[in-house]
Structure 1
Amino acid sequence: MVKAYLRYEPRLVFGVIVSVDSNISYDPSGKHLLAGALDSVAVWDIKKGICSTSLSPSSGSSHSLAVTSIASSPSSSSSSSSSVASGHANGSIRLWDLSRGTCEATLNGHESAVTSLRYNQFGSFLASGSKDCDIILWDVVAETGMFRLRGHRDQVTDLVFLDSAKKLVSCSKDKFVRVWDLEMQHCIQIVSGHHSEVWSLDVDPNERFLVTGSADLELRFYLIKNELEEMDNSSKWEVLKHYGEIRRQNKERIATVRFNKSGSLLACQEAGRTVEIYRVLDASNARIKAKRRVRRKKEKLLAKTVEEGKENGNLDSLQNVSGMAVLEPDVLVSDVFKLLQVLRASKKICSIAFCPTVSTKGSLGTLSLSLNNNMLETYSIEEGRVEKKHTVELPGHRSDIRSVTLSSDNTLLLSTSHNAVKVWNPSTGACIRTIESGYGLCCSFAPADRYALVGTKSGTLEIIDVGSGTRADVIEAHSAAIRSIVPIPDDNGSVGSGFVTGSADHDVKFWEYQLKRKTETDSKQLTVKNVRTLSLSDDVLVVSISPESKYIAVALLDCTVQVYLLNTLKKFLTLYGHKLPVLCMDISSDGDLIVTGSADKNLKIWGLDFGDCHKSLFAHADSVMDVKFVHNTHYMFSVGKDRLVKYWDADKFELLLTLEGHHAEVWCLTISSHGGFFITGSHDRSIRRWDRTEEPFFLEEEREKRLQEMFESDLETNENKYALREELPEEGSVGVPGKRTQETITAVDIIIDALDTAEDELKHYDEHNVDQQNGKSGQFQPNVMMRGLSPSDYVLQAISNVQTNDLEQTLLSLPYSDALKLMSYLKDWVQTPDKVALVCRITTVLLQTHHNQLITTPAARPILTVLKDILHARVKEFKDTIGFNLAAMDHLKELMSMRSDAPFRNAKAKLMEIRSELSKHSGKLIDGKRKKKKQKNSSKDHVGA
Structure 2
Amino acid sequence: MVKAYLRYEPAISFGVVASPESNVVYDPSGRRLLAAALDRFAAWDPKRGLPSSIFTPASSSPSLAVSCIASSPSAASASASSIASGHADGSIRLWDAETGACEATLHGHRSAASALRFSPSGAVLASGSKDCDVILWDVVAQAGLFRLRGHRDQVTDLLFLDSGKKLATCSKDKFIRVWDLDTQHCLQIVGGHHSEVWSMDVDPSEKFLVSGSADPELRVFRVRQSAEDGEDWNKWDVLKLFGEIPRQTKERVQTIRFNKDGSLVACQVAGKTADIYRILDETEAIRKAKRRMHRKKEKALAKAVTAEGNGTVIDPLPAQDSQNPTVVVTDVFKLLQVLRASKKICSVAFSPSNPPKGCLASLSLSLNNNVLETYSVDNEKVSKTHSIEIHGHRSDIRSLALNSEDNLLMSTSHNAVKIWNPSTGDCLRTIDSDYGLCSAFVPGNRYGLIGTKSGTLEIIDINSGNSIDVIEAHAGSIRSIVLIPDEDGTVSARGFVTGSADHDVKFWEYQLVQKSDTDSKHLSVTNVRTLKMNDDVLAVSIGPTGKHIAVALLDCTVKVFFVDTLKFCLSLYGHKLPVLCMDISSDGALIVTGSADKNLKIWGMDFGDCHKSIFAHTDSVMDVKFVYRTHYMFSVGKDRTVKYWDADKFELLLTLEGHHAEVWCLAISSRGDFIVTGSHDRSIRRWDRTEEQLFIEEEREKRLEETFEADLDNAIEHRHGQKDDAPDEGSVGVPGRKTKETITAADAIIDALDTAEEEEKRLNELKEEQSNAERAKSQPNVIMQGQSPSDYVLNAVSNVRPNDLEQALLSLPFSDALKLMAYLKEWSLIPLKVELTCRVCLVLLQTHHNQLTSTPAARSILTELKGILYGRVKGCKDTIGFNLAAMDHIKELLAMRSDAPFRDAKAKLMEIRQEQSKRSDRSDGTERRKKKKPKASTQS
Scaled to the shorter chain, the TM-score interval is: over 0.9
CA spacing shift, 1:596–1:324, aligned 2, 3 Å: closer
Equivalent pair of 1:29/1:77 in contact (CA under 8 Å): no
CA 1:57–1:234: 2 relative to 1, 3 Å:
closer
1:365 to 361, 374, 381: 361
Work out whether residues 673 and 689 of structure 2, in 8 Å CA contact, stay in contact via their aligned partners in 1. Answer: yes
2:481 aligned residue (482, 485, 488) = 485
Q: Higher mean Cα deviation, 668-677 or 138-147?
A: 138-147
1:374 to partner: Cα distance: 0.5
Deviation at 1:510, TM superposition (A): 0.3
Matched, 1:769 2:767: yes
Paired residues of 1:626 and 1:638 also in contact (CA < 8 A): yes
Q: Residue by residue, what CA displacement relative to the aligned partner does 1:2-40 show, whole Å, maximum 9, x if unpaired?
A: 222111111111000000100000011111100111000
SS of residue matched to 1:277: strand
SS in 2 for 1:74: coil
1:420 aligns with 2:430: no
| Aligned AA (1:799) | V
Residue 808 of structure 1 aligns with an amino acid whose one-letter code is: E
Q: What residue is the counterpart of 1:510 in the other structure? A: 507
| 1:941 paired residue number | none
Q: 1:80 to 1:627 in 2, by over 3 A?
A: same
Q: Tell me the equivalent position of 1:832.
A: 830
Match of 1:279 in 2: 278
Q: CA deviation at 1:828?
A: 1.3
Q: What corresponds to 2:821 in structure 1?
A: 823
Aligned to 1:432: 428
Per-residue deviation, 1:910: 2.6
What do the CA deviations read for 1:484-523 (whole angstroms, capped 9, x no partner)? 0000011222221200000011110000011111111111
Of 764, 783, 786, which aligns to 1:785?
Answer: 783
Q: Distance in 2 between matches of 1:511 and 1:90?
A: 51
**Larger CA deviation: 231-240 vs 209-218:** 231-240
Residue 618 (1) aligns with residue 635 (2)? no
- The CA distance in 2 between the partners of 1:777 and 1:523, in whole Å, is 96
Q: Deviations over 1:99-151 (max 9, x none)?
A: 11011111110000001011111111111111001111111111111111111
Q: How does 1:165-180 map to 2 (within 5 A)?
A: 165-180=164-179
Q: 1:628 to 1:929 in 2, by over 3 A?
A: farther
| 1:608 paired to 2:616 | no
1:53 corresponds to which residue?
Answer: 53
The Cα shift of 1:528 comes to: 0.2
Structure 1's 489 and 113: CA in aligned 2 closer, same or farther, altered over 3 A?
A: same
How far apart, CA to CA, are the structure 2 residues paired with 1:96 and 1:78?
12
Helix, strand or coil at the partner of 2:908 = helix
In structure 2, what is the equivalent of residue 662 of structure 1?
Answer: 659
State the number of aligned residues: 931
Indicate whether 1:597 and 2:594 are aligned: yes
Instruction: After TM superposition, give the deviation of residue 228 of structure 1 in Å.
Output: 3.7
The answer as to 2:106 corresponding to 1:115 is no
Quote the residue 1:850 is aligned against: 848
- 48 and 77 in structure 1: CA distance in 2 versus 1, 3 angstrom threshold: farther
Aligned to 1:386: 382
Equivalent positions of 1:721-732 (< 5 A) are: 721-726=718-723, 728-732=726-730
| Contact 1:221–1:242 (Cα < 8 Å) also in 2 | yes
Partner of 1:636: 633
Counterpart residue number, 1:797:
795
- Pairwise CA distance, 1:371: 0.5
Residues 1:613 and 1:821: Cα distance change in structure 2 (over 3 Å)? same
**3-state SS of 1:64 partner:** helix
- Give the alignment's Cα RMSD to 1 decimal: 2.2
- Helix, strand or coil: the match of 1:785? coil
2:731 corresponds to which of 730, 733, 737? 733
* C-alpha separation in 2, matches of 1:564 and 1:860: 86
Mapped contact 1:500–1:511 kept (Cα < 8 A): yes
1:250-289 Cα shifts (integer Å, max 9, x gaps): 1111111111111000111111001011010011110110
Distance 1:710 1:600, change over 3 A: same
Q: Report the equivalent of 1:377.
A: 373
Distance 1:888 1:396 in 2: 52
| 1:82–1:787 Cα change, 3 Å | closer
- How far off is 1:310 after superposition? 4.0
Using the TM superposition, give the Cα deviation of residue 311 of structure 1 relative to its aligned residue in structure 2, in angstroms.
4.9
Give secondary structure in 2 for the equivalent of 1:786: coil
Go from structure 1 to structure 2 and tell me whether the alpha carbon gap of 1:234 and 1:903 turns closer, same or farther (over 3 Å shift): closer
Residues 771 and 777 in structure 1, CA contact (< 8 A), matched pair in contact too: no
Q: What residue number does 1:97 align with?
A: 96
Whole-angstrom distance in 2 between the partners of 1:672 and 1:185? 58
User: Following TM superposition, by how much is the alpha carbon of 1:363 offset from its aligned partner in structure 2, in angstroms?
Assistant: 0.6
Q: 2: CA distance between counterparts of 1:525 and 1:812?
A: 74
Paired AA for residue 123 in structure 2: S
- Pairwise mapping of residues 285-300 of structure 1 onto structure 2 (< 5 A)? 285-300=284-299
Q: Identical aligned pairs, as a percentage? A: 68
Q: What amino acid does structure 2 have at the position aligned with 1:339?
A: L
Deviation at 1:309, TM superposition (A): 2.7
1:185 is the counterpart of 2:184? yes
Aligned to 1:348: 344
Query: Which amino acid is the alignment partner of residue 260 of structure 1?
Result: N
Distance in 2 (CA, whole Å) between partners of 1:50 and 1:176 is 41
- Between the aligned partners of 2:918 and 2:463, the Cα distance in structure 1 is 78
- Describe the shift of the 1:77–1:467 C-alpha distance in structure 2 as closer, same or farther (beyond 3 A): farther
Higher deviation after alignment, 78-87 or 220-229: 78-87
> Following the alignment from structure 1 to structure 2, what is the Cα–Cα distance between the partners of residues 406 and 198?
48
| Deviations, residues 705-762 of structure 1 (Å, cap 9, x unaligned) | 2122111111111011212222511111111010001110111111111111212222
Query: In the TM superposition, what is the alpha-carbon distance from 1:890 to its structure 2 partner?
Result: 2.0
CA distance in 2 between counterparts of 1:758 and 1:909 reads 70
| Cα contact 1:81–1:99 (8 A) shared by 2 | no
Q: How far apart are the structure 2 equivalents of 1:341 and 1:717?
A: 48
Alpha carbons 1:625, 1:640 under 8 Å: kept: yes
Cα distance change, pair 448–243 in 1 and its aligned pair in 2 (3 A): same
- Aligned residue for 1:713, secondary structure, equals helix
Q: Provide the rounded CA distance (Å) in 2 between the counterparts of 1:801 and 1:777.
A: 31
Whether the aligned pair in 2 keeps the contact of 1:75 and 1:82 (CA below 8 Å) is no
Give me the whole-angstrom Cα distance separating, in 2, the residues matched to 1:917 and 1:493. 100
How far is the alpha carbon of 1:335 from its aligned partner? Answer: 0.0
User: CA 1:814/1:82 → structure 2, altered by over 3 Å: closer, same or farther?
Assistant: closer
In structure 1, the partner of 2:19 is 19
Q: Does 470-479 or 185-194 show the bigger shift?
A: 185-194
Closer/same/farther in 2, CA of residues 927 and 412 from structure 1, 3 Å limit: farther
Measured in 1, the distance between the counterparts of 2:867 and 2:228 equals: 44
Which residue of structure 2 aligns with residue 751 of structure 1? Answer: 749
Residue 335 of structure 2 is aligned to residue 335 of structure 1? no
User: Which secondary structure state, in structure 2, belongs to the residue aligned with residue 548 of structure 1?
Assistant: coil
Is the 1:28–1:82 contact (alpha carbons within 8 Å) kept by the matching residues of 2? Answer: no
Quick one: distance in 1 between partners of 2:576 and 2:76? 62
SS in 2 for 1:87: strand
SS at match of 1:235: coil
SS at match of 2:444: helix
Is the Cα contact below 8 Å between 1:765 and 1:780 reproduced in 2?
no
Is the 8 Å Cα contact of residues 596 and 619 (structure 2) preserved in structure 1? yes
Aligned 8 A contact 2:307 2:314 in 1: no
What amino acid sits opposite 1:421 in the alignment? Answer: V
Aligned 8 A contact 2:767 2:775 in 1: no
- Distance between the aligned counterparts of 2:293 and 2:885, measured in 1? 56
Q: CA separation of 1:317/1:68 partners in 2, compared to 1, >3 Å: closer, same or farther?
A: closer
Task: From the superposition, tell whether residues 929 and 587 of structure 1 become closer, same or farther in structure 2 (CA, over 3 Å).
Answer: farther
For residues 166-315 of structure 1, the aligned pairs below 5 Å read 166-231=165-230, 235-312=234-311
Q: Displacement, 1:884? A: 1.6
User: What is the CA–CA distance in structure 1 between the aligned matches of 2:906 and 2:80, rounded to whole Å?
Assistant: 35
**C-alpha displacement at 1:450, in angstroms?**
0.6
Cα deviation for residue 247 of structure 1 reads 0.9
Q: In the alignment, what sits opposite 2:938?
A: none
Query: 1:929 deviation in Å?
Result: 11
2:185 is matched by which residue type in structure 1? Answer: H
C-alpha separation in 2, matches of 1:456 and 1:73: 47
Deviation at 1:869, TM superposition (A): 2.7
Deviates more, 1:689-698 or 1:895-904: 895-904
Which consecutive residues of structure 1, in runs of 5 or more, have no partner in the other structure?
939-945
User: Which whole-Å deviations, capped at 9, do the CAs of 1:424-458 have from their partners, x for residues lacking one?
Assistant: 01111010111110000000000111100000000
- How far apart are the structure 1 equivalents of 2:314 and 2:504? 90
Paired residues of 2:456 and 2:478 also in contact (CA < 8 A):
yes
Using the size of structure 2 for normalisation, the TM-score is: 0.96
